Structure 1
C-alpha cells in the first residue's frame, strides 16, 4: 500500500539519491538501509520505499512515521484491492480491463488502485459467476460413449456369429468417413465394450 499522496522510490531511485550506482548501493549500503527502512506493505517486485523515510535515513535523521489510518486515496496492489473488494487479484486486473473497476495508476512498473475504487467494487456483483476456488465436483463427470462404437460392436458381433462377413478397419473408415487410424480406435473400443458386457 502506498499511503495517500506519499512519493515513493524503488532501489534504483534510492541509489540515485545516495549518489552511487545500484551495484555500489547493494554492495556497501543496502544491508544497513534494509535494517532501518522497511519497504511499503504489499510492495514486491520491485520493493518500494517511502521517499520521506529514505531521505531521513540518508540524512541520518529519525524516520518519520507513515500514516496509520486508512484513506480513500491510498494506493493498493491488486491483491490488497481484491482483499477489500472480496475478489481475487486476477479478477481485479480483469475488471480493470472490462471497466468494472477503474484502470488504476501505474507506478514503478505495476498498477495500483485507490482504496475507494476497491470499496466501490465490493458493492457490485461479479458479471461472471464461475466455479468457487477450490470447489470439487459433486459427482464424477459422465464419459459420453461414441455412438459409432455401438455400431462397430454390433458389426463385429454379427461377424463372430456368422451372420455377416468380417469387416476391416479400411472398410469401417470408408463407411463412417473417418481415417483408418480412427476406425482402428473404434474397433478397439468396441472390443473393450463387448468384453465389459460379457
Structure 2
C-alpha cells in the first residue's frame, strides 16, 4: 500500500541497487533488503514487483532511525491488486473483473509498472456493488434474496463489467441459488447475442458472442436459451 501523498517516494529494487552502488545481479543475490532492520516493502507479499517507501530506505541506508509510515486508512491511500481484493473480500481474479468497471477503471494509478487504485474509489464501488447486502451473511440454503423480476436488473451491471463472469461469481455477488444465477446469466447473454445478430445479420452466433466478450465455455447455455426462444419474442 502506498500511503496518501507518498507516491513520489516509492522506490524499486533497481533504484535501491543504484543507491547502494550495487550491480543488479549482486543486489538480487545478496538481497540486502532482507537485513535486520531494513524497512518492510510497501508492496503486497508475493507481488511481482517489490516496492519500498523511499524516506524509510534513505534513512536506513544513512544509518539513521527509520521513520514510521503514516497510518493507513486515508481515502488517498493507493492499494495494489491483492490489497484491493482483500478490501472487497473477493479473490484477486474477481478483482481483475471488477477493475474494468467504469466506476474503477478511470482511477487507475500505475506506479513503477504496478497497478494501484485509491482506497476511496474501492470503498465507493463496494457500497454501490450490486447485491452487496444480499451477498453478505445470507444463510446457507435460504431462498433467493432477490425477487426474480429484479434479477436481470441486478446482474446486468456485473455482466457489463465482466462479460466472462462465472455463475459462482454471480452467486457470490448476489447471494442467489446456483440454478437461478445460471438461468438468469444464460438468458441475459442470449438476449444480447440475439440483439447483436439482429443489428448485424452477417454475424453468426459465435461471432456475436465473441464480439460481446463471451468465452466459448459459456456459450452453450446461451445457445440453448436462444433455441427455445420463439423468433421475434421480446428479449427485454
- Per the TM superposition, whether the score is higher than 0.5 is yes
Distance 1:101 1:112 in 2: 11
**Could you say which residue in structure 2 is the equivalent of 1:71?**
74
Choose 91-100 or 113-122, whichever is displaced more.
Answer: 91-100
Distance 2:96 2:36 in 1: 30
TM-score, normalization: structure 1?
Answer: 0.59
**For 1:116, what is the secondary structure of its paired residue?**
helix
- Residue 79 of structure 1: CA displacement? 2.6
Match of 2:112 among 108, 113, 116: 108
Q: Is the alpha carbon distance of 1:120 and 1:137 closer, same or farther for their aligned partners in structure 2, counting shifts above 3 Å?
A: closer
CA RMSD of aligned residues (A): 2.7
**Could you say which residue in structure 1 is the equivalent of 2:124?**
120
Per-residue CA distance 1:62-92 (angstroms, 9 max, x = gap): 1110112411100001232233234443333
Per-residue CA distance 1:83-130 (angstroms, 9 max, x = gap): 323444333332332313134111122210000001100111342274
**For 1:25, what is the secondary structure of its paired residue?**
helix
- Residue 60 of structure 1: CA displacement? 1.0
State the 4+ residue runs in structure 1 displaced beyond 4 angstroms. Answer: 135-138
**For 2:99, what is the secondary structure of its paired residue?**
helix
- Residue 12 of structure 1: CA displacement? 0.8
Q: Is the alpha carbon distance of 1:101 and 1:91 closer, same or farther for their aligned partners in structure 2, counting shifts above 3 Å?
A: farther
- 1:93 counterpart = 2:96: yes
Q: Is the alpha carbon distance of 1:124 and 1:34 closer, same or farther for their aligned partners in structure 2, counting shifts above 3 Å?
A: farther
Which structure 1 residue ranges, 5 or more long, are not aligned? 139-198
**Could you say which residue in structure 2 is the equivalent of 1:21?**
23
- Residue 32 of structure 1: CA displacement? 5.3
Alignment of 1:150-161 (within 5 A): none
**Could you say which residue in structure 1 is the equivalent of 2:5?**
5
Alignment of 1:37-186 (within 5 A): 37-42=39-44, 44-103=47-106, 104-126=108-130, 127-128=157-158, 130-131=167-168, 132=171
TM-score, normalization: structure 2?
Answer: 0.50
Q: Is the alpha carbon distance of 1:91 and 1:100 closer, same or farther for their aligned partners in structure 2, counting shifts above 3 Å?
A: farther
> Which of 1 and 2 has greater Rg?
1
**For 1:20, what is the secondary structure of its paired residue?**
coil
Distance 1:28 1:89 in 2: 31
- Residue 30 of structure 1: CA displacement? 1.3
Size of the aligned set, in residue pairs, is 137
